[in-house]
Structure 1
Amino acid sequence: MPDHPSSTLTPSSPEIRRRRFNVSLVWLVPIVAALIGVSMVVHKALSAGPQIVVSFMTAEGLEANKTQVKYKNVVIGKVNSIALSSDRSHIDATIELDQSAKAFTARDARFWVVRPRIGAGGVSGVDTLLSGAFIGADPGNAEDTEKNFVGLENPPAITYGQKGKRFTLHTADLGSLDIGSAVYYRRIQVGQVVSYHLADDGKGVDVDVFISAPNDQYVRKDSRFWNASGVDVTLGANGLKVNTQSVASILSGGIAFIEPNYSTDKALADEGAQFTLFDDQETAVAPPDGEARYVQMRFDQSLRGLAVNAPVEFLGVNVGKV
């Protein structure tokens, strides 16, 4: 038999075919869009801050999903919705604050609408003519938090963190003073009027002023305040003398103060100290006359030309007034 090379017959192995998963480009776009949408929702949920409700008398200048809430011109939230109250006396603006603005949920936080205003302190909010009104915010320092706030109808005169002292001045009537009227020391503005109200007995007006630091150190216990509104015109031996603090005080009113030269009490006035607001500088810095004595006189002749507050003189020295 012829020699044949030995051969080993092996059965053929089955061929393994792997199924390829092909994604059509048509489905790629909506998948990517869905992932972006999910990431945006997750990011918004993680960065969402507290939600508060601020009530205002009117919704003038406010728009849902557009009006911003700002602090020091930095956006810290947005108005989500505006609704009329059940008794129709005010509107409720629902505001969603940023996560970093939790300090604005303090119980003493303040909110107001910034719009163009003309007041004693000048013109404010002019930039809103182009950008639209926004809600200004001022954080509080209270530990308690709140979700419902009553918005201010006017911007606060003093904002959070502003250093200085408040003082109360007693006067017979308000005159031309208003919130924002300037307070001067040696003709330099150092503060302003922040509020006023009738005295408890209803026989006068209490005016609250704020003197900014470091100028509050010039308010002494013996300082004298007077109404510096308008123009003080005096006609004497030296001719006509016109005295005023500034042009602004003529238009919007103002208050000035100084310590008398004869004062011996140089101690600093405490926060909330009370002073008398005199009508003019001459009366304010006049030395104390002691206890007044009242004298009633009767004249048989006419008193034409005599008026209340007319001076009473003795040997050319002013000793009193009518």
Structure 2
Amino acid sequence: MSMSENKTTSETSDHHETDVELENMNDLPEPQEKKNRWKPLLIWIIPLIALLIALSLAVKALLSNGPTIEVSFRTAEGLVAGKTTVRYKQVDIGVVRQIDLAEDRSHIIARIDLRKDASNFAAQDSRFWVVRPRIGTSGVSGIDTLLSGSYIEVDGGKSPEKKLEFTGLEIPPVITSDVPGKEFFLKADDLGSLDIGSPIYYRRINVGQITAYKLSDDGKSVELQTFIRAPYDKFVTTDTRFWQASGIDVTLNASGFNLSL
């Protein structure tokens, strides 16, 4: 065999092997793109987590909320829905959720959400008033609200009866229900220089205040409501006689109090 023939045979054999290799390569499976199985799950997991968080917050708010009460005032001065708080001894126990004008437009109605642990403040004899800067005979009050804003103060009642609608006080009460003492009623020909908050002295010690007054039913005198704080209230007897620095003479007998100006 000549060298040329051997060369031709060798080249033919090489081409055949190359063709076989190419055919074998064509028989190999095509590489498949790797699928991310977690991607579809993540699309649903994130909204699901957000929904669970929202539900937990809603349940928490529902469990922590107490009754919703309505308190009417002449105006909404200083009140802001969603911001104005209700306080007792400077502790927040609720918030004003909504403020509406009454149907007859004579007053406003503040809808208040009380905390669950403050449900007992919905007692029938509870009193509500707006704390704002005021100047009166008893001095200046509510100055701190110039910076912090007005809020609603509550004097928690002691009645076991509950209610959801209240008429707010336009003037803060002189005495709250947690102050020990007794109420006494006086009668005078006219009011003179007295006013709500005017002090009552015993041996030059401030023992009480005028808490309210009104004209008698027959219009011939003025009836005054007073409060004497404990322990001074024990000194008020049927023989008690008072002289005010303003010249007021208060006497107490079996028929009641008599106030002479």
Question: Which stretch has the larger CA shift, 110-119 or 137-146?
Answer: 137-146
Contact 2:123–2:162 (CA<8 Å) still a contact in 1? yes
Q: For residue 258 of structure 1, report the CA deviation from its aligned partner.
A: 9.4
Aligned to 1:201: 218
Check if 1:81 corresponds to 2:63. no
Q: Does 1:277 align with 2:237?
A: no
Structure 2 CA distance for aligned equivalents of residues 102 and 60 of structure 1: 26
Please say if 1:61 is aligned against 2:78: yes
Question: Does 1:211 pair with 2:228?
Answer: yes
Compute the displacement of 1:33 (Å): 3.4
Deviation at 1:256, TM superposition (A): 8.0
Amino acid at match of 1:85: A
Instruction: Tell me the equivalent position of 2:6.
Output: none
Cα pair 1:64 1:81 within 8 Å, conserved: yes
Cα pair 1:109 1:137 within 8 Å, conserved: yes
Kindly indicate whether the alpha-carbon contact (under 8 Å) linking 1:227 and 1:277 is maintained by their aligned counterparts in 2. Answer: no
Q: Does 1:36 align with 2:53?
A: yes
Counterpart of 2:202, as a letter, is Y
Pairs aligned (count)? 226
Q: Alpha-carbon deviation of 1:36?
A: 2.3
1:129 aligned counterpart, secondary structure: helix
In structure 2, relative to structure 1, the CA distance for the partners of 1:256 and 1:128 (3 Å cut) is farther
For residues 90-119 of structure 1, the C-alpha deviation after alignment (integer angstroms, 9 at most, x for no partner) is 111110000011111112211111111111
**CA deviation string 1:66-96 (max 9, x = no partner):** 0000011110000001011111111111100
Question: Which residue type is aligned with residue 173 of structure 2?
Answer: P
Paired residues for 1:112-191 under 5 Å? 112-191=129-208
Partner of 2:9: none
Amino acid aligned to 2:257? F
Which structure has the greater CA radius of gyration? 2
Equivalent pair of 1:164/1:214 in contact (CA under 8 Å): yes
SS of the aligned residue for 2:38 comes to coil
Mapped contact 2:123–2:161 kept (Cα < 8 A): yes
Larger % of helix: which? 2
Matched, 1:103 2:120: yes
Letter in 2 for 1:103: N
Deviation at residue 27 of structure 1 after TM alignment: 6.2
Match of 2:38 in 1: 22
Are 1:71 and 2:53 counterparts? no
Which ranges of structure 2 fall in alignment gaps of 5 or more residues?
1-34
- 2:251 touches 2:259 (CA, 8 Å); kept in 1? no
Using the alignment, how far apart are the partners of 1:21 and 1:149 within structure 2? 61
How do residues 233-252 of structure 1 correspond to structure 2 at under 5 angstroms? none
1:46 to 54, 60, 63: 63
TM-score scaled by length of structure 2: 0.78
1:224 maps to a residue whose letter is R
In structure 2, how many angstroms separate the alpha carbons of the residues matched to 1:118 and 1:29?
57
Shift of 1:42: 1.0
Instruction: Give the whole-Å Cα distance in 2 for the aligned partners of 1:80 and 1:74.
Output: 18
Residue pair 1:170, 1:274 contacting (<8 A) in 2 also: no
Code of the residue aligned with 1:38 in structure 2: it is L
Q: Please report the TM-score for the alignment, with normalisation by the length of structure 1.
A: 0.64
CA deviations 1:257-277 (Å, max 9, x no partner) are 799xxxxxxxxx99xx83222
Q: CA, structure 1 residues 110+124, in 2 after alignment: closer, same or farther (shift >3 Å)? A: same
Q: Secondary structure at the match of 2:96?
A: strand
Shift of the 60–116 alpha-carbon distance from structure 1 to 2, 3 Å rule, reads same
Change (3 A) 1:91 1:148: same
Give me the whole-angstrom Cα distance separating, in 2, the residues matched to 1:205 and 1:258. Answer: 16
Deviation at 1:178, TM superposition (A): 0.3
* Residues 57 and 91, structure 1, Cα contact 8 Å, conserved in 2: yes
